[in-house]
Each structure stands twice: as structure tokens, then as C-alpha cells.
Structure 1
Amino acid sequence: MSDTRPADPALTAPGEHMDALREAAGAWVWDEPAGRLYADARFANFCGLDPEEARRGLPTSDFFAGVIPEDRLRVRIALAGILRGSETFSKTYRVRGAGGVVRWVSASGITERDLSGALQRFTGVLVDITEQKRIEEQLRIAQTAGGVGTFEHTYGFGTAEVSAQFCRLLGLQPTDALPVRTINTLVEAGDPLIIRSLGEEGALPYSEMRIRRADDGAERWLARRGERRPDSVSGGERFIGVIYDITPAKLAEAELRELARTLEDRVAERTRERDRVWNRARDLIMVLSPGRQYLAINPAWGAILGYEQDELLGRAHGILLHPDDEAGRGDILERLGRGEAVEDLDLRVRAKDGAYHWINWTFIPEDGFIYGIGRDVTERKQLEDQLRQSQKMEAVGQLTGGLAHDFNNMLTGIMGGLDMARRRIAQGRSEEAESFLETATQAAERAAALTHRLLAFSRRQTLDSQPVEANVLVSSMEDMLRRTLGEQVSLGLALQADIWPTRTDPNQLESAILNLAINARDAMPAGGQLTIETANVRVDWQTKVGNEEIEPGEYVMIAVSDTGLGMAPDVLAKVFDPFFTTKPIGQGTGLGLSMVYGFVRQTGGRVGVYSEPGVGTTVKLYLPRLRGEREAVESDARHGATPRGAGESVLLVEDDPQVRVLVRTVLEELGYRATEAVDSRQALAILDTAGPLNLLITDVGLPGMNGRQLAEIARARRPDLPVLFMTGYAAGAAERSAFLMPGMQMISKPFALETLAKVLRETLGGSH
């Protein structure tokens, strides 16, 4: 067949691109009368054939051997056209060559026929265009980083909410809303509508459409993406989507198709398009090597961050990241290593002048390389920070306003009661002073309760956590709850058997349940049903309970449900806000649910609230399961006369002079001998010089060395010395079990004389 086969085109190609053709092209000759296929070594390598056998000739059926199955049918159809009379052949498809490597190739061929029209030879070249395909994909990614217009449309409405960029893409004046008819009228007949008509099913698929701009009549290509979401307001559904201009891509596609006739033009056009996008893009574009070093960066890096290409090439990608963002880099690289794209990722990148810019990145791995596109969103981040600060200050204003109102009322009761008592005593009417002292005491107790609720809300209260059986605790409250609810409200308990134990402060949990029960009672003015339920709950993945996210794990759930008035969505959204209440003035501080929320969050749990007007409300407390031995909840029902001392020696350390004088007076009245110190330094001097001491009483929040540190030193010098801590609030003492050692007790300010007397005897007696 040597006299009929033409010379290898790759070896005889004229012109200055001969060397390139040798590297990129493989040639074949199809001898139809002989049914043989002849090809050069390059073609054989592309298609996974033996080069020597290809040179000597193979059955024509072997032409399809290297074509991957997904592309084989359309190649067969094209070749069938050649055999039936077509003059030229031009196809792009994928082949699997030696070693299983997949390449994109472009095949072009022509036919030779005899005078009767019968096919004699079919010759052509196979060109490797894998790199071109990669560049085309890079071009597509870069173009999607351009301007994007957003829209939102709810079914049943004739208008859609749109962004200013959306209007500009359509050639309309920027506005917040547009009629759907106006939007869709701009779409060319036969193309998909931008906003689909009412009643069509499914999410918004990716679609491309031509529009005629409203301002200049220019035809542009737009792409649309979006998805369907339920609409909580109308009960229907809404579409949220984006559009962006893909005219350059469409024009580039048309140009590429036009220039596909010759290899030289295709290479030149590919280079021009790549350089145009690379050089003119306003977003950061980079290529990372398999070793995660900068391989290439586009000129936008200089405009935005001040770096020239030679300043970064070869350097590790992580050198510019903010230290706080560096920790998550390993996870990002691991995902990219698995072939996953990473999108919508905000990272801080250091500019050449040392300032950090927030960049929103998209990373796409391909063939070991990583392609990244980043948009500077620093201004957006600054606006978000300003919004958060504004919201924070609004919350602080609401909190301080509520505090000022309630505390001023209570201080009025305290100061007024004491002033009136002083006047009655001065007038010799001492018997009338008792009622005013009682008024002052009640106001002071209300102030203490308010402070306690604030600490609970802010998750700063001191907790005495211990293993708790929810069923035992709820059952022990049944009688008290029935008396609290009254005759009009029925109480039902639905307690799951074999409930898991949890670790929490039983007194605070009782208070939380009682708070919820009182709220439920007030929501049922005409009576109703209150149900308290317990259950074991296993959460397998992160989910929502009410408006709260709950992590995977095992929880003990305590639910309090009523059949009362329920809450509207706007009320439900603010139910945990401090000082928010729907009760009449004077009938609630608005801190009840805030306290419950803060307490449960401090124990590591979550709170979910579900309510519907006219149906009722359910509040669910999720407390983490305790793994380990079950312990029953103990109740302290000891009552009796105020315990007194027997002359024991007590060292009192308190920096507030008024509190110090008051506590010393109480100690002496209870029968103890007290020595005072104003701080830890003075207390240590007394510890070194004083005789036997039976008890150390110290405030936690002392200036300089705090009370806990003082206790450590005192114990080192006097190992058996009992310690009683007093605390109004101390961040390190929020968890009693972690703060206290054997022989130590804690009492929260303010406290009554009877409470102090009881704790003193417990501490001196060694109980804890």
C-alpha cells in the first residue's frame, strides 16, 4: 500500500508552524477499498494503539478503539456521513491513550473519491486541544466573576424585587421592583423567560436567553441561575435568582467556531481571549502549583493588593493569609485535594502596604493545580461590622433602659422605707417602723432577684452543677406546681421511662420550669391544660430547634406546653430579649424567659420555642446527656432555728467597708469572733501572726490577689482551714464544682442572716 498512502502530513506541513504540528498533531490515512487504517506514531499514542501496527495498517474498526465510550456514538455518526458522501470531517472528542491518559483532540479530514464518486481515501490530522479546553474552562470561571443582578419573585404577585445591577443589565433605570411582564417582554421570542410563569414546577435551572436592552436596543446574552424556596409570609413559594451578562462568552464561542477551520487561527484566538480576560479582569485570579506555590497571578493583584507577579511567583500560598484564617487553611487544602471545589469563602489577605483586605474566594482544583478567583469584599465586611455594632448598641440601650427603670423603682422602695423608718424612730414611734423596714427589705430582695436573673441571662451566674434525674426533679415539683397554677389549669406529666441523667444546677432548673409554668398560666386566663414532658432525644446532624441551632449529640428534653393564647411571629422573634414582656405594666420584668435561656445555654444546652396564636406554646429545654453513674436529686428540707456559733475564730477578708462592717456585725451577733482584713496582703499577715483560726471568709473579687488565690496560699500554710467564699459575680466562679475544693463553700451576695448562719455551720462542720 506504500504507493497509495500519502506522506505523513505532520512531517510535510509547510510554513513556520511545522515544529508545532509535529508536537501537537497525528495523521491518519483511511484506505476504504482495502479496509485498512494507517497512522503515524503520534496518532497511535493518542488513541492507545501500537505505533508499529498502526504504521503497517490496522482494520478501520480500530479507528474507534481509543475514543472514550461517551463520545464514540457521535464520532461513528460523523464517520458514517463521510462514507455516504460528505467531503469533510471535523469533530472534537476525547481519547484514552497510553497509560490511560485522557486527552481532548480535534480531528479534521478530507476525502478522495474516484470518478464514480466511490470513496478511495479519507485522510486527516488529530490535534491535541487539552490545554485549550482547560483555558476555555478557566475563561468561563473568570466571566462568572463579573457583575451579577439579583431578583426575588413570590408566586401570585405581578412584580419582582430586583437589584440595581439587574436593572442595568436590562437597560432599565435602577429601581427596587419591576413588573414581571416588563422583565419578560425584553426576552427574545422563543428563548426561556427570566422569571418563569406561575405554576411551573421544579427549581430554576440554568438557562441562557437573548434580550433586547430597553435603552439602546442592543441584543445581549444573559444567563440565569436560581432556586425555589418556601415563602413563610404568603404560604406559597418564591424564586430567588441571579442573572449575568454572558455576551462576551457567546461571542467568543461564535468566534471560536468560525476560527476552528485552521489550527493556527484557533491557537491565536485562544491566546488572545485568555490574555484579554487575564489582563482586564477586576477580580484576583491566580494559579497554584501542585506544591501550593503561586504559579501565576493576573494584573489585578497589583491594582488591589500592590503585588507584581515576580514578587509572589514560587512563594507559598499561605504567606499572605491573616493568622486567624491560617488555622482553617489545612481543611481547605484537604477538600481541594479530594477534588472538591471551595466556593464563597471569605479570607483576609495582606496587601503590600500591610493592610488586610477581605477577599471572597472560589477555588477549583484541576489536574493537581488550583485555580482561584477572588473578589475584594472589604467594604461589604466593614458595613456588616458597622451594622453589628449598631445592633449591639441598640441592645445595650434597651438593656440599660430596662435596668434603670426597675432598679430606680426598687431603690425608691429601699430608700423610702429606710427614711420613713428612721423618721418613725426619731418620733418615738418605733412600733410603726417595722412595716417600712419590711418594705425596704422586700425591695432589696427584688433587686437581688433582678441581678440574679441578669446573671442568668448573660450566662454568668454561679452554678452548682451535679447529676440530675429529670423525672425525679419534675415529680418533686408536682405539688408546688399545682398550687401555683390554681384550679383553672390542669397539670399533666408525660415522663419517659429510663430517662437519661443530665448534669446541671437542680435549683436553677427548678426555677426555670417554674418560670415557664407561671408564663403558661398567665397565657391561659380562662384556664387550660399545662403539660410537662420529658424524653431522650438523639440529634444525628446539626439542626434547628425553634430559632436555635443544636449540635449533634444526645440530650434530655424537658418540654412545657400550654393551650393558651400563643404568640404571633413578631412576638416569638423577641421572646428571649431582656425586658421584653407582653404583660401589663407592673406585672412582669421581661427577664423570665431571658433567665431560662441564659441558664440553659450556660449548661451547654439549647432552648426551642414553638407557638401559634390561638393554639398555644411549647418551650423545649435540651440538656446534654450525662454519661456515667446516675445520682438522685436530693432536696434539702431542713428547717429550724438559726444556727449559732460557739466562739469560733473567723478571719473576714472584704474590700468593701460597708459589706465588711455588716458581715462582721452579723458574725458577732451569731456568736463568732471575727478579725477583719481589707485585702489579701493584710490577710496573709494575719495568717502568719494570728493564733488558731477556725474559718476563712473571703470575697472572691478582691483587688490585687483575688480570693481564690488567697485561699490557695492560706491552705498551704494551714491545710485544714475551712474557706467560705462570698461572691456578687466572679467570672472564674461560674461553675462551683470546678472552683471549689473539699472544705470550701460559696455563698452569693446578697444573702439573709439565716442563710449565712446555715452555710457557716455547714462549712465548719465539714459538709459540702
Structure 2
Amino acid sequence: MALSPDLSFLTPDALQDDEPKRLAALQSYNILGSPPERMFDDLIDLARLIVDVPIAYISLIDSDRQWFKTAQGLEVQETPRDIAFCDHAIRKKDVMVVLDAHQDPRFRDSPLVTGPPYIRFYAGAPIITPDGYAVGTICLSDTKPHPDFSGTEELAALARQAAALLELRRSLSQQAVAARMATDQRDRLWDNSLDMMLISRPDGQIIAGNPAWEATFGPIGDNGGANFVDFLAPSEERIPPPMVNGQKDIQVEHEMVNQNGETVYASWNLAREDDMIFGIARDITRAREAEAQLVHVQRMESVGQLTGGIAHDFNNLLTIVLGNLDIAERRLGKDETQRALAAITNARGGANRAANLTQRLLAFARRQSLSPVQINAGELLDGLMPLARQALHGGIKLTLQIAETLPSICIDPGQLENAILNLIVNARDAMVENDQQTGEIALHANEYHLSQEDAETVSANASAGHWLRLCVSDNGSGIEPDIAERIFEPFFTTKPSGKGTGLGLSQVHGFIAQSGGFVTLKTEIGSGTTISLWLPVDEGEAQSVERQSDSTNDNAPAVSQQQSHHILLVEDNEAVRAHVAELLEEEGYDVISLVDGQAAVEHLQSQARKPDLLLSDIMMPNLDGHGLASWVHDYYGDVPIILMTGYAGGEMPSDSPHEALITKPFSPQDLLDAIGNALQPVKAKAAV
């Protein structure tokens, strides 16, 4: 059964008494002065069936007149508003009836009563808009009085129909205007669009193409053109994609050949209606070229960033190698064979670690295929920490929280290191972008045995089994949900232009998946983010391996120390710190060795004796060499300062106080000469 339309809007709850808004409602219909229309004439014919009268009309009340949209029995098109019966009728919601105008003080002196058309009887129903404004009336009039009138309900119903006709008329008018505008816009879009537009048959036969298509592939004749597949590159499938009627949003990319024989990459959006295919294409040739260039630039930038990042550690290792070789040479000259051999052993260890760093760089730069080997995950993470810390500024702290024993895993170690570094750098960048001056990034590692039920809870990509979970967590601001669901998409990035390519996290995700694992993300606004790398543990190969940390050679013979100038040595690399301390102590200096600038400040604040010289590395966690040098200069202005650096990039701050800067790797003699020169003023002062 058909449903009746909802016409409740034609009977508003109350009549609105606001003349400016009433006039605006009338003007919105754009009907004043319009020619006759049959649908309004029909309402007058129906009104005269209620009672036999000579005069019937529809009156619209303007600011100073009543205008008749349609009328029977009247010779005029309008009359002044101040003499109109209808001006009174629009002031109330009910039908107004005047049985004898001669007896009504409101109208007995009206020109419409005393003169043509000599009205004696009047019945008028207000035409009320859906917003409650009476814009006019539908009326019945007679030149003689009536004893009564029983047609108020019928006349009110016709008034509601008149209101409905006004609404319908306005709607149809708006639709006609919109249709004309749409046609004009479609024509303009077809003619002026920079995107190519094409209409073809389902078999690919071209019917029409817009100017953008013709500019690229040549004109289409009046009777249509060639087949779409004729413009595809030889490497493309030369069969149009099958489409059913009504199918929309089919997206395909094609390599095509333009009218000049050049390769064009086009991204098409296709839709089918009946026997016609409508296609819109965007030329993405430049985007493809830019994408290839971007990948190349990103690869080179990554190599550059990693090279700069490991330069510090690499030069530290060279310092160990060269310094121990120099010591060995001097000890051999004194027939101290055992001590010389110990120095050579230390040099060999440093050289081996440098070789490992070189291999790490080469593996990253070549982006070679995976070379999985069985590794000790704990040792890999220990070795990665110094490099990772180089990527962080002083306000962000990196901690390592892993079990003493972890299962060995089979994976490409270079790619795993790169993945972890990528996550740490992303966490750092997120904090920087949110103006977070301090924070903490933690690297966790634990093993898990997942049941099938646990796996379903962890991730849709997880499965039951033995897993090693590596997590990078930060206490930053978290990731918005709409961004979190896209962070592993290639080329998606929230960083400003030129600051990121959007490839890093997608590479991490792809590498872990290729290694048989999966990645999970946990984030909460205001509470930080954790990205976990789940790596499979081969039960046949797995064994718990205890972590071994690099340390200096405990068998190296001790050297007698002489009390002399007091030197404060600050260096975060344990091996370099031990090597330099041994060198200085062997020369008779009194050396205090500390791990970073913060430890040095705390030591100096707790000691009454000030140092005779500060020898400090520049790049260190917590407080770097520049900050430490400034602090020492402020508190002990006469203490000479020598800074050491193994980092190839960056600039020296112009206000950094120091007497000398030594670049790693350096020879022991170069260091001793620099210290001797820096201490000359101290020696001269002591002699006075």
C-alpha cells in the first residue's frame, strides 16, 4: 500500500507576527508579477464549488498592495493594501467571514464596498507558509450579503493546497536553475579540466574525449576514434577491464604512449552506465618520476644520516687502534713485550669492531637481500645503544631494559639494527615536532610463548608459538587514531615537506614480515606510543644466551702513577676513556675519569679540589661537552679546556669555551702536546 506524503508542514503550530520576515517569505517565492498559471486557476474553480459567488481570487499581500495571482469576477490586477479585506484576513489563522460588509464597521466605508466591485459578502482563508507566515489568501466575494457561510473547512483546505503549490513552484524553479547550472558546469568541466576525460564502449571503442585527452593523444573524429587499447604501451595488457553495468570507482593505472611517442603514466577512475564507459584520468608521469627520484634521494639521505651517525663511534674505534699501536711501539722499545702484546690485542679488538660498523653501513646502503644468521639479540642491542644515543639530543634519554638471557634468533642483523634505529628516530622526531624538550625512549626485549588464544588477542597476523618481542616505547603525546591506522603506509608522513619521505616505517613493517614476524602498535593520546617487533624463535635452534658486554682488557698490566697535574677526563665511550686515562697516567698525570657531563658536574660540585685541566668528548648523553665546558668556564674561569670529537658533521658553537679541539682519531703524542700547551699558563703561574 502506498504511503501518503507528509504534509504536516502545511499546518504550522502558530501564525508568526513579524512583518519584515513575512515579506521576506513572500519574496522568496518570486511569484509577484508572474504570468497566470493553470494550477492556481484550478484552485479558484474549486473554491467556487463551495458556494455560488461571482468573485473568487488568490491575493498575495505585499508591503503596500494586494496582488492577484489569479482572479475571476475582478477587472483589476491589484488594489491598495490599506483598503483590502485580505489585509485583515492574514492577521489570524482562521478563515475570516464577513456576511454583510454594510454592517461591519471595518469595511462599510471601504471603496471596495461603496464602489466597484461593490463587495457585500467576503470569505478569506490565509495562505500560511511552513514557517508560519501568512503571505496571502484564497477568497470568495459577492455583491450581495449572505445569511451564513458553512464552507470554512473547505476553504481552509484550499488555502493549504495553495501553500503547497507555492512550495512546489519554488522547488521546481530551484531545480530548473540547478539543472541549468549543472549543465553549464559539466560543459565547463569537460572543456577546461586538466584531467583527461573519455567516453568509450565496453569493448574500448572511443566515443568522445575532452580537450585534455586530445592534447595528449590527438583529436577524436566526429564518428569516434580508435580503440583505447591502441594507446597502451606494449608492456600493458591490451584487453579492456571487464565492467558490469552500474559498476563505479574502478581504479587502474596504465602506461600509455602519447601522440608524440612519449611514455605517459595515467591513473584512471572508471564507471559504467549501460553501454558506455566513463573514464577520468590524471597524468601521473611527473609523480612517477618524482617518486623514483624520491626513493633514490631517500636512499642517499639514509646513507648520509647513518654515516654521520656512526662516524663518532668509528673514530672512537680508530682512536683505540692507533693509540694502542703507539703504546705497543713504545713498549717494544723498552722490551716490555707482554705489555706491548696487550696493547696490540686492544688495537685488534677496536679494529674488529670498526669492521663490524663498516659492514653495518654497507648492508644498509646496498639495501641488499636479507642474509639471516643466528644472533644473540642481547649483544646486538648492547652494541646498538651508543649509535642510537648519537641520534638523540640532550633532553631525551634512551634506556635499555632487557632480560639477562634471551633466545637466539635467525635474522639479518644489519636490517634489524636499521629497523630499531628507525623506530628510535621516529620517536625522537615525534617528540621534537610536539615541542617536547625532555622525554624518555626505552628499548625492551623479552621472550613470549603465545597460545592460539593469546595470538588472536595480540594481532590478526600473530600465530601461536615462541616469539622474541623487541619494543621501542616513548612517553610522548601519542598518535591520533586516524594517523595511527596509516603510519605503516608507504609515503604517508606527518612531517613537513623535506623532513621525511614516509618510507621508514613501511620498510620496518616489510622487513619484519619478510623475516616471518609481525608488528604491533599501542598508542594513547597523552600516554605515549609503543611499537613492537615480534620475531619468531626457531625451537630447534633457540637457546638462551647470556649477554656479554664489551670491556677493557682486565689483563693489561698496571702502571705506576705519579701525583702531578689533576686532569678531569670525561668520555662516554668506555674503551676510549680507558685508553686515554692509561696514556695520561703513564705520563704522570692524576686522572679522574667520568662517563658524561652530568656526572662531571656532580663530581665537581662534591669536590673541594678543582681540576688543572678538563679533557672532554663533545657528543655525550645527559650533558654534552659544550654544556660541560660552559659550566666549568662559569665556575672555574681559569681552568683550561680541551674538547675531543669523533663526529664528522655539525658546527662548533661560537661561544663554546675551550683552548683546543682534538679530532678523533688522534695519536697519543698529539694529545700530550695539546695538554702540555694548555697547561703552560698553569705551570707558569705555579712557578711565580
Superposition TM-score, scaled by structure 2 size: 0.35
Highest Rg: 1 or 2?
2
Higher-RCO chain (CA-CA 8 Å, sequence separation at least 6): 2
TM-score scaled by length of structure 1: 0.32
